[in-house]
Amino acid sequence: MDNCLTYALRLWRFGRATDHLVIRKSRWGWFPHFAVIFELQNGDLEKREYVPLKPRPRFVPPLFFKGVEKITHYRCERIDDARKSD
């Protein structure tokens, strides 16, 4: 049993320019949800987060819950440099 904050803090490597801690509003209430995004060598992004197995809307978030690690990959198609003008 874990929660999204302890999971994200355990993975996040503070000080690395390619690691980002993401904080957003939870889909299940007013409280925050935490995730970590890693920028890979080839420019792709990988988002890792801890999500509940059986989520349900609630007023107060649970301190710990049973969940799974969710990994989402975002592929970099191309990089446009705004400094270059056509």
DSSP class of 53: S
pLDDT class of 67 with cuts at 50, 70, 90: very high
Give the C-alpha separation, 9 to 27, whole Å: 20
Helices (H), the chain: 4-11
Residue 3: how many other CB atoms lie within 10 Å? 17
- 86 or 49: which leads in pLDDT: 49
| pLDDT tens per residue, range 13-43 | 777 888 899 999 988 888 899 999 999 988 8
pLDDT at position 28: 81
DSSP class of 63: S
pLDDT at position 22: 94
* Residue 61 half-sphere exposure toward CB, CA atoms < 13 A: 20
In this predicted structure, the answer to whether residue 85 has a pLDDT above a threshold of 80 is: no
